Amino acid sequence: MKIDELLTHPEGKTLEFKQDLSSPKNILKTVTAFANTAGGIVLIGIKDQSKVVLGVENPLDGEERLCNLIADSIEPRLVPNVELINWKNRTLLVVEVYPSALRPHWLKSHGIENGVFVRVGTTNRQADKSLTAELRRSATNLSYDDEPIPEAKPEALDFRVASKLFAGLRNWNKSTSETLRLTTRYQGRFVPTIGGMLLFGSLRDHYFPDAWIQCGRFGGTDKARILDQLEIKNHLPLALNEAFEFIKKHALHTAEFGKLQRKDVWNIPVEALREALANAIVHADYSQTGAPIRVAIFDDRIEIENPGLLAGGLTIADVRNGVSKLRNRVIGRVFKELNLIEHWGSGFQRMQASCREMNLPEPTMEEVAFRFRITFSLTRVSAQAQQNEIKQQQPIHRKAIKLELSQDQLKILDKCLNDSTIDELMAILGRTNRTKFRDQVIKPLLEAELIEMTIADKPQSSKQRYRTTSSYKESQLFCEGVESLNASGCVEDSLETPDKYSPQLLRTISQPTRTKGTKSGPSRDQIEIGTESTKQNKADKFSAISGQTKGTKLGPSRDQVEIGTESTKHNKDKKSSTISGQTKGTKSGLSRDQVEILNECANDSTIDELMAIFGRTNRTKFRDQVIKPLLEAGLIEMTFPDKPQSPKQRYRTTAKWRKSQS
C-alpha cells in the first residue's frame, strides 16, 4: 500500500480520507458503499481538505474499536483488511475494502430497505429497491434482461422486424428466438424475456415506459433554450440509428473529392458518438424508472447519458483501461450479432482514437446520481496540446529528461510531497533570501515539471503552496532522489513487523531502486542494474511486507493471486483474529480482477466467459497467469478435474473461498 501515492489523489469512488474516528457512522457508510460498489481505501489520520497527515491517537485501541464496529454494524458480515501503518513518525489506520461477492451489504441499524449504500464519486448514496436488486444480481452473476416476463406471450415480440434485421447474418427459424434468449421456457411454456421485450417488444411501453431515447439540441452551453428535440421509442436496434441521425442532423460537414469517390468530413467524431450511443443502450439499467437515455447537443459539447452506474463494480479507470462487464447479456449479444458493437471492452480506446484524429480532447466520463454520462468536447485542441495530453496518459520514459539535482532540491522534493509554503521550504535549508531561493531552487524544479503551484494562475498569492507533480511520482527520480538522501538506499535496514512501513520502503514497493555509486544527481534514463546481493536483500524485505514468496518480481500483477510465506501467514493470522473472526490462512488481499474472477466463478463458468471479463484473447497465457494460480491456491476448482481439457470444462469457487467470505 503506497501512502505517498494515495496522498497525491483526491477523494473519489475508491478513496476517502478521515481525520479520526469521531464519526464512526460515516466511516461505516463508506465501508459499506465500497463493498457494494468497486471497493476502496479509507485512510484515517488525514485531514480531509488539506491532506495534512495528523496520525491516529491510541492506534491500537482505535484499530480494535473499528474492527468491532464493522463486525457488529454491517450485514452480511464484512471482513475488510484493517492495518496500522507508520508513516513519517505518525501512525495511520488504513481500511482496505474489496468488492464483495455477498453484496448488497447494509447497516443493521437502518435495515436492508434504508441501509444499503453505494459509492458515487466522493459521496455515499442510499440505494433504492431497484439498485439493491441490481447489486444482488451482479453478485450472483445474473442478468436483468435474461429474466422472464411470465404474463406475456411470445406474440408480444415483433419477430418480423427481428428477422428482417438479421437477414444475411443469421437464418431465422422457430428456435432462433430461444437461442438469442429473446424467449425462454417458464413453467412449461415459452414467454418473452425482458431483453426480448426491450429489443423487439410491441408492448414495450407497457412494461418499460422509460426505455426510450430523448434527444435535444440546445442553443448555447446550457439547457435554457431548446432548438430541436426528438423522442425515439422504436425497437432498440432501430432507435440507435435514429439517435445517430439526429446527431448528424445538427452537425456540420463538408465533402472531399478524391480520384474515385466523395468523402464526407464532419465537425464531430461520428464514429466515437455512434460507439457511445450503442454503449448507452447496451449498458443501461432498465430496472430504473423515471428517466430515459438522453442525448444533449450543445454548442461546445455533446452529452450522452444512460440510467445505471458502471456495472459489476467497475471504475472509470477500469473502462479507460479496456475492462468491461456486460450488464444486459441478451441486448449485448443481439447488438454484437447485428454488428452494432464490436469487441467488448475496446470501445473507449476507439472513441479516444476517433477524437484524436480530429484534434479533439478525449471524452470525459462521470457517474452522476445513479446515471452514467460521457461528454464529447467540440473545442479543438492544438496538435502540441494533444501530444501533451497523450504524454500525460503514458508512463514517463526513462530517457525523457536528464536533470542533475542538488541535495537541497532533493530535500525540497521530499517536503513537497505535502503542500508547502515557500517559507516552510526555505526553513528546511536555513535560507533567508526569498528571491535567490526562488531563482536557484524553486524555478528549476518548476521548469522541470517536478513541482507545481497549487494556485497556478496567481503566482504571487499569499496562499500559494508548492507540491510535487504526478510526473515526478511516476518517474525513476522519485525513488532515486530519496536514495541520494539516504546513503543506504531506499530501503531501511530492518523491519520488525509487516506493519511498520517507512516512506522510503513504500516508494521501493512501487518503483525499483538504483545501486549506489552513481552521482547524487540522477537522470531519468538511469535504470537500476543491482547486484545479486542487493536484489536478494530487497526481496527479503519486500516479502516481510506483502507475504510474497521470494523469486518473483516486486509487486504482484493484477491477475496473480498473492500467496504469502508461512511466516507471513502466521503474522497475518494473529492480526486477523482481531478483525471480526477472519478465517485463518486465507489471504484477503486479492486484486479487483481476482475478485471479479471469483465472483464470476460463484456460478460454473467456462474459460471463455472468464476471459471475456477482461477482454483477453490468449487462452494459454490466461490459463497460466490467472486460472492456474487460483487453482493452486485452492480458491477455484474444475468441474471435471480428471479431464482438464474437456470442452465442457467449467470453473467454480471452492468451499475454502466460500468459507472465507462467510
> Which of 445, 446, 444, 471 is closest to 456 using CA atoms?
446
Q: How far apart are alpha carbons 271 and 279 in whole angstroms?
A: 12
User: Residue 221: is its pLDDT beyond 80?
Assistant: yes
User: Residue 64: is its pLDDT beyond 90?
Assistant: yes
Structure confidence at residue 363 (pLDDT)? 93
Structure confidence at residue 253 (pLDDT)? 61
Mean pLDDT of 619-632: 86
- Mean pLDDT, the chain, whole residue set: 78
Structure confidence at residue 436 (pLDDT)? 84
For residue 245, what is its C-alpha cell?
A: 441521425
Yes or no: say if 480 and 514 are a contact pair by the CB < 8 Å rule: yes
Q: Give percent above pLDDT 70 in the chain.
A: 75
Give pLDDT tens digits for 338-387. 999 875 567 788 888 889 888 899 999 999 888 999 999 998 765 545 55
Give the angle 55-56-59 at the CA atoms, nearest 5°: 130
Q: Which residue has the higher pLDDT, 86 or 482?
A: 86
Lowest mean per-residue pLDDT among 245-249, 331-335, 568-572: 568-572
For residue 405, what is its C-alpha cell?
A: 539535482
Q: How far apart are alpha carbons 198 and 211 in whole angstroms?
A: 7
For residue 335, what is its C-alpha cell?
A: 447488438
Q: How far apart are alpha carbons 513 and 530 in whole angstroms?
A: 8
Q: Which residue has the higher pLDDT, 617 or 502?
A: 617
When pLDDT is cut at 50, 70 and 90, the band that residue 256 belongs to is low
Residue 452: C-alpha distances to residues 343, 442, 459, 468, 520 (Å): 40, 9, 10, 6, 23
Q: Give percent above pLDDT 90 in the chain.
A: 40
- DSSP notation for 99-121: --TTPPPEETTTHHHH-BEEEET
Give pLDDT tens digits for 402-430. 445 677 788 888 888 888 999 889 888 88
List alpha helices for 547-643, DSSP H.
566-576, 592-600, 607-614, 619-622, 628-632
Yes or no: say if 415 and 425 are a contact pair by the CB < 8 Å rule: yes
Structure confidence at residue 39 (pLDDT)? 93
Q: How far apart are alpha carbons 260 and 277 in whole angstroms?
A: 32
Yes or no: say if 345 and 614 are a contact pair by the CB < 8 Å rule: yes
Q: 3-state DSSP call for residue 400?
A: coil
- Write the DSSP symbol of residue 583: P
Question: One-letter amino acid identity for 486?
Answer: N
Q: 3-state DSSP call for residue 26?
A: helix
User: Residue 520: is its pLDDT beyond 70?
Assistant: no
Structure confidence at residue 264 (pLDDT)? 65
Q: Which residue has the higher pLDDT, 213 or 568?
A: 213
Mean pLDDT of 288-297: 92
Q: Which residue has the higher pLDDT, 555 or 631?
A: 631
**Region class of 38: left (phi > 0), else alpha (psi between -120 and 50), else beta:** alpha
User: Residue 495: is its pLDDT beyond 70?
Assistant: no
Q: How far apart are alpha carbons 99 and 590 in whole angstroms?
A: 10
252-261, 547-556, 591-600 — which one is most confidently predicted on average? 591-600
Count the residues in the chain.
662
Work out the angle between the directed axes of helices 407-415 and 422-429 (0-180°, nearest 10). Answer: 140
For residue 396, what is its C-alpha cell?
A: 514517463
Structure confidence at residue 487 (pLDDT)? 39
Give pLDDT tens digits for 553-591. 333 343 433 333 333 344 444 333 333 333 333 344 567
Lowest mean per-residue pLDDT among 269-278, 458-467, 577-586, 627-636: 577-586
Structure confidence at residue 343 (pLDDT)? 58
Mean pLDDT of 517-522: 38
Q: How far apart are alpha carbons 84 and 518 in whole angstroms?
A: 35
User: Residue 435: is its pLDDT beyond 80?
Assistant: yes
Q: 3-state DSSP call for residue 126?
A: strand
Residues 6+ apart with CB under 8 A from 52: 46, 418
Structure confidence at residue 564 (pLDDT)? 37
Lowest mean per-residue pLDDT among 83-97, 142-156, 587-601, 602-616: 587-601
When pLDDT is cut at 50, 70 and 90, the band that residue 290 belongs to is confident
> Which of 500, 494, 495, 498 is closest to 545 using CA atoms?
498
User: Residue 491: is its pLDDT beyond 70?
Assistant: no
Residues 6+ apart with CB under 8 A from 334: 180, 182, 195, 199, 237
User: Residue 56: is its pLDDT beyond 60?
Assistant: yes
Yes or no: say if 236 and 197 are a contact pair by the CB < 8 Å rule: no
Structure confidence at residue 262 (pLDDT)? 56
Structure confidence at residue 261 (pLDDT)? 62
Mean pLDDT of 185-212: 94
Q: How far apart are alpha carbons 144 and 123 in whole angstroms?
A: 26
Structure confidence at residue 598 (pLDDT)? 87
User: Residue 273: is its pLDDT beyond 90?
Assistant: yes
> Which of 111, 89, 200 is closest to 149 using CA atoms?
200
When pLDDT is cut at 50, 70 and 90, the band that residue 77 belongs to is very high
List alpha helices for 81-209, DSSP H.
111-114, 129-139, 159-165, 176-179, 194-200, 204-207
Question: One-letter amino acid identity for 232?
Answer: I
Q: How far apart are alpha carbons 591 and 612 in whole angstroms?
A: 18
